[in-house]
Structure 1
Amino acid sequence: MDIFSNFPLMAGLFAILFAQFVKIPILYLVTRQVDWKLFTSTGGMPSSHSAAVTALTTAVAIEHGVDSTIFAVATLFAVITMYDATGVRFQAGQQALTINKLRNDFNIFVNETRNWQQKKEEEKIEELKTLLGHKPSEVLMGAITGIIIAFVFYAVL
């Protein structure tokens, strides 16, 4: 089988790319700022994880039916992925926010007691990534995006 004719795979991969790209104009509409780094970052609206797994699951359902074993596997994979995106990964992001605040507060303390500003940039600690997981609304929008993409792909192919 030619990998590029694998409908579920192509739908899932396209859903990831689409969801990652669409984050940029969404951020622009909300903040009037363009941040191209969003294309390669985790978190944000819509969830590319949810878009990918729901596009994959929907494409499997279209191609093999909802009574197939592969649909069952894809569905459980999607549920676990989306649960993780809103649970563990979201909480890790919240913890990173708290740690970054604590570190910033500590840096203010250090600035008052030492000459922190004169240290080289590479000597300073890089902030932890806080946009790791998703809010439930981001996961829902990612899921809707994935389902729509799978049906559009099916109609086009």
Structure 2
Amino acid sequence: MQVLIEIFTNRLIAIPLFACIFAQVIKVSVDTITNKKFSFRYLVSTGGMPSSHSALVGALATGVGQTLGWSSPEFAIASIFAGIVMYDAAGVRQAAGKQAKILNQIMDELLNNEDFSEEKLKELLGHTPFQVVVGLLLGIISSIFLLPSPFLQ
């Protein structure tokens, strides 16, 4: 039981998770305002503005830097990890989303409204670079405000 308490009170876990959840709440709010209807499904989906993955890894790397020092090996590892996650969000997953959109258009044209039981592919998989940067900034700001740092005092 003590191990679970330590895990859930670890600020380097809690603050990045908060940043991720906060980004998802912002994402749902932006989508609700844009489309004028609430979608619970959007709360747990990938893609959109801002990137919750970027918020999570941005808060993690910033928290590690604040706690262990900006020149620590742990900060280097967290930063490299954050870079890979953000590159994937803006690169690979966005490309997969574009491919899904094209495949869905091809299926619509080929089938011409005939009955076909296959579901459409999810098109909103990745992020634009701007969405990734906004998520990153959200994570950094979350960590700066929520995690007291001996290196910033």
Corresponding residue for residue 26 of structure 1: 30
- Between the aligned partners of 1:39 and 1:28, the Cα distance in structure 2 is 11
Gaps of 5+ in 2: 149-153
Q: In the alignment, which residue of structure 1 is the partner of 2:101? A: 97
Counterpart in the other structure of 1:15: 19
In structure 2, the partner of 1:68 is 72
Match of 2:84 in 1: 80
Choose from 123, 138, 143 the match for 1:145.
138
- Structure 1 residue corresponding to 2:39, chosen from 35, 40, 55: 35
Larger Rg: 1
Residue equivalent to 1:119? none
Asked if the contact 1:23/1:46 (under 8 Å) is kept, the reply is yes
- % identity of equivalent residues: 41
Asked whether the 8 Å contact 1:8–1:57 carries over to 2, the reply is no
Q: How far did residue 30 of structure 1 move?
A: 2.1
Structure 1 residue runs of 5 or longer lacking an equivalent are 117-122
Root-mean-square deviation (Å): 1.4
TM-score by length of 1: 0.86
Q: How many residues align?
A: 144
* 82-91 vs 21-30, which moves further: 21-30
Deviates more, 1:18-27 or 1:40-49: 18-27
CA distance in 2, matches of 1:44, 1:23: 6
Q: 1:120 corresponds to which residue?
A: none
Q: Could you tell which deviates more after superposition, 95-104 or 123-132?
A: 123-132
Deviation at 1:33, TM superposition (A): 2.0
Pick the aligned partner of 2:118 from 116, 122, 125: 125
Question: 2:147 is paired with a residue of what secondary structure?
Answer: helix
Considering fraction of residues, name the structure with more helix. Answer: 1
